[in-house]
């Protein structure tokens, strides 16, 4: 399902490489429950793939003055740090895929809605930080996903045309961002299923990262055969 060897692979982080979306959702819901508030899964789904400033606006719209988002975010971070320390779990196949891409001589970039300080911390503790030639963080762009800016910036920093790259995303907002930037994108669903509208924007939908690795290997084989 990858027609040709890409010049670069642009990875999302949360929900794609790191198994963090459930951790954040469940911890945030627990913190809100302490204050007598209920965070439903469908409400959290509206936040997936968005930068913090957009999450803050959505939460204010949903909960109004009942909730101070900055206080919630701090409480969530404290709980996660106390219960899990600095290490975040990797998604199955994440390390192997990043190593496969690098071994193939394909540039790796990270395009995330998370702030740079957290990206660098999480990737450092996962042993992946050194693999990425370019990192585009959510606090370093004027418009985050689903706007195309993050992916356009990543391609420009790599010195590559967007269409020569391949994006890997787990969220609807990420797929929309990559597609709008002209970057072919494969969705690997995490908390959100691939809807018909999202499938129409994606090159393919993979059940897991192992399938992406297999498709990439097949594309490399076809390239060598030529």
Mean pLDDT of the chain: 96
Positive or negative torsion for Cα 149, 155, 157, 160: negative
d(CA 115, CA 88): 15
Class of domain 8-19+88-225: alpha beta
Respond yes or no: is residue 61 known to be catalytic.
Answer: no
d(CA 106, CA 9): 7
Q: Name the catalytic one among 14, 54, 170, 190.
A: 14
Residue ranges with strand state E in 8-164: 8-11, 107-111, 134-136
Query: Domain spans of the chain?
Result: 8-19+88-225, 21-84
Give Rg (Cα) of the chain. Answer: 17
Name which of 3, 22, 221 is nearest 104 in CA terms.
221
| Helix %, strand %, coil % of the chain (to 5) | 55, 10, 35
d(CA 215, CA 10): 16
Which residue is it, tokens 């929309």?
176
Q: What is the pLDDT of residues 11-51, one digit of tens each?
A: 999 999 999 999 999 999 999 999 999 999 999 999 999 99
Name which of 10, 7, 8 is nearest 169 in CA terms.
10
- The SS3 assignment for 135 reads strand
Tokens of 169: 């995303």
Tokens of 120: 């660098």
Q: Which helix (H) or strand (E) holds 165?
A: strand 165-169
Q: What is the pLDDT of residues 71-98, one digit of tens each?
A: 999 999 999 999 999 999 999 999 999 9
Q: Name the catalytic one among 12, 54, 147, 170.
A: 12
Respond yes or no: is residue 19 known to be catalytic.
Answer: no
Beta bridge partners of 107: 8
Band (pLDDT 50/70/90 cuts) for residue 220 is confident
How many residues in total does the chain contain? 226
Band (pLDDT 50/70/90 cuts) for residue 200 is very high
Q: What is the pLDDT of residues 104-152, one digit of tens each?
A: 999 999 999 999 999 999 999 999 999 999 999 999 999 999 999 999 9
């Amino acid at each position: 399902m990858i027609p040709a060897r890409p010049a670069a692979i642009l990875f999302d982080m949360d929900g794609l490489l790191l198994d963090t979306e459930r951790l954040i959702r469940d911890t945030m819901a627990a913190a809100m429950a302490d204050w007598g508030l209920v965070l439903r899964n469908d409400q959290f789904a509206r936040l997936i793939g968005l930068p913090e400033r957009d999450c803050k606006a959505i939460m204010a719209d949903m909960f109004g003055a009942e909730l101070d988002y900055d206080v919630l975010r701090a409480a969530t971070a404290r709980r996660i740090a106390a219960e899990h320390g600095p290490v975040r779990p990797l998604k199955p196949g994440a390390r192997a895929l990043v190593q496969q891409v690098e071994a193939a001589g394909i540039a790796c970039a990270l395009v995330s809605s998370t702030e740079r300080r957290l990206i660098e911390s999480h990737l450092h503790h996962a042993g992946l930080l050194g693999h990425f030639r370019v990192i585009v963080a959510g606090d370093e762009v004027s418009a985050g996903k689903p706007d195309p800016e993050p992916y356009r910036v990543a391609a420009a920093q790599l010195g590559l045309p967007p269409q020569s790259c391949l994006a890997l995303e787990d969220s609807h907002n990420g797929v929309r961002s990559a597609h709008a930037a002209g970057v072919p994108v494969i969705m690997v669903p995490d908390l959100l299923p691939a809807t018909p509208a999202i499938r129409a924007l994606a090159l393919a939908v993979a059940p897991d990262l192992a399938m992406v690795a297999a498709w990439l290997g097949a594309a490399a084989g076809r390239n060598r055969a030529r």
